Chain A
Amino acid sequence: MKFRLALSCFVLSFHSLLASAGPLEAQLAAYATAAKAANPAFTGFSAARGEKLHVTNFALGKPDTPACTSCHGNDPRAAGKTLTGKVIEPVALSVSPGRYADPAKVEKWFKRNCNEVLGRECTPLEKGDWLTFVSSR
């Protein structure tokens, strides 16, 4: 009974996510499904965990890029810069409202950038947390 309730709550919140229906919301919902499948204890994404991912010095990928901040900078509302000098628009959604509207683009860069920093792809949990973090800024 309790379980059924929790489940229906989950499905409900899921539906409201889908109902608000931007591509970012749909992508977050898909990551949530995958995160839940990987770990049934998953209850939702966390901007705080996303921020930690963003600023942690992993140094597990390429030596030049130990952290997401190596290119995106410490302040998500400020522009970043690649090692070859190309300016990157801020990652905070409030400053760059055009961002995260193309799921294929988001996936492409997660794949590239997580490899550069973590030496592996990011998990759906990490992706959802990170997107939640930048959406909250």
Chain B
Amino acid sequence: MKFPPRPLALGLLALGFSALIFSRAQAGGGHYYPPVADPLVKEECGSCHLAFPASMLPASSWKRMMGELDNHFGDNASVDPEVARKITAYLVANAADTGGQRYGAKLQRGVDPASAPQRITALPKWVREHREVPDWEWRHKDVRSKANCTACHADAELGYYED
């Protein structure tokens, strides 16, 4: 019997790769946050900045943010009510204290969900993780904003935040 060797090898490779992703995800080591999977959310919340993972903020945060899109950190990010409803549903279902708990719980240490924090970059755990980043690096012309995660985390679009 003859094996078709290439497809098999490829199959194993694919298996190995997805197993790797899966185990990293399972580990929930504080550096994997599933990227936004919903195309509508990606389009509407990912054109001005990275579409931040839903698991980085609690559901209360997303609800509040979605209600104030006309003044979104000084920008007008508003969308049609129907679109807003769908985006909210996705973010709330995958938030740090709902479906995304496994990934996002760590980042919420010391956070009272009732306070509905609006910035990931102001969460105590985020601040602690970044305390060693020097001032000049934040001001570098390729960074400029703390919310520019991809400047330092090259694989942020894929959900990985180690360096």
Contact = CB atoms under 8 A, between A and B. Distances in A.
A61 to B, nearest CB: 10
B37 to A, nearest CB: 18
Interface string B119-154: 000000000000000000000001111011011000
B161 to A, nearest CB: 15
A115 B76 contact: yes
Interface stretch (B10-18, B46-54, B91-99): B46-54
Nearest to A116: B75
Q: SS class of chain B's interface: helix, strand, loop or mixed? A: loop
Interface in B68-83: 74-77, 79
Contacts of B77: 112
Interface of B: 46-50, 74-77, 79, 142-145, 147-148, 150-151
Contacts of A88: 47
A94 interface: no
A112 B76 CA distance: 6
Interface in A106-129: 108, 111-112, 115-116
Interface in A24-79: 62
Nearest to A71: B48
Contacts of A85: 49-50, 142-145, 148, 150-151
B46 A86 contact: yes
Contacts of A82: 47-49
A16 to B, nearest CB: 33
